[in-house]
Amino acid sequence: MVDRADLETVARQLGREPRGVLEIAYRCPNGEPGVVKTAPKLPDGTRFPTLYYLTHPVLTAAAGRLESAGVMREMTERLRRDPVLAAAYRKAHESYLAERDAIEPLGTRISAGGMPDRVKCLHVLIAHSLAKGRGVNPLGDEALAMLADEPAMAGILVPGQWR
């Protein structure tokens, strides 16, 4: 269960009331929520395949900057050329599906972020890596490594974890 103070913080971070929050999946070293874990179906019954959702505004802005810089396109191209990376990314997808379906099966093989064949949303991949830790999502880990030394990440990312 998520406490009211965390939900209020997440609402401020998002600029709207959060929906379907099951837990805070990543808490920044400064104590603020950074990622929420959401129910596969929202309270109104809407399917929501994004299990991990990035909420902290510094993180969401940083993910947006990487997306604008063309990082998603470069990662997708590498998936096509690198079978080892593609296999690790597929494993992240399978893990994501298994965890989501253990909560509530949606009857779909669609996960989030473009997994397993492309990179569609770095926000999701970063959220997945933060929630589950280094080594689960290779492209989420890479994106976090790109951000790790930014001064804005002080207090947001665990020092040294993503280098």
Tracing tokens 């993180």 back to the chain, one arrives at 59
User: Helix and strand tally (H, E) in the chain?
Assistant: 6, 3
Please give the Cα distance from 8 to 55 (Å, whole number). Answer: 12
**Count: domains in the chain:** 1
**Assigned domain for 160 exists:** no
pLDDT greater than 90 at residue 163: no
CA distance from start to end of the chain = 32
**pLDDT of amino acid 132:** 96
Tens-place pLDDT, residues 77-119: 999 999 999 999 999 999 999 999 999 999 888 888 999 999 9
Tell me which residue range forms the domain holding 60. 4-151
pLDDT greater than 80 at residue 1: no
Tens-place pLDDT, residues 36-79: 999 999 999 999 889 999 999 999 999 999 999 999 999 999 99
**pLDDT of amino acid 152:** 92
**Assigned domain for 144 exists:** yes
The dihedral sign for the CA sequence 115, 121, 123, 126: positive
**Assigned domain for 159 exists:** no
**Assigned domain for 23 exists:** yes
What letter does residue 136 receive in the DSSP assignment? S
**pLDDT of amino acid 159:** 84
**pLDDT of amino acid 101:** 94
Tens-place pLDDT, residues 5-16: 999 999 999 999
145 burial class (0-12, 13-18, 19+ CB within 10 angstroms)? middle
**pLDDT of amino acid 160:** 84
Burial 12-21 (b: 16+ CB within 10 A, else e): ebbeeebebb
**pLDDT of amino acid 10:** 98
**Assigned domain for 116 exists:** yes
Residue type, 130: L
**Assigned domain for 157 exists:** no
**Assigned domain for 162 exists:** no
**Assigned domain for 33 exists:** yes
Tracing tokens 């600029």 back to the chain, one arrives at 15
Torsion from C-alpha of 123, 69, 91, 10, nearest 10 degrees: -10
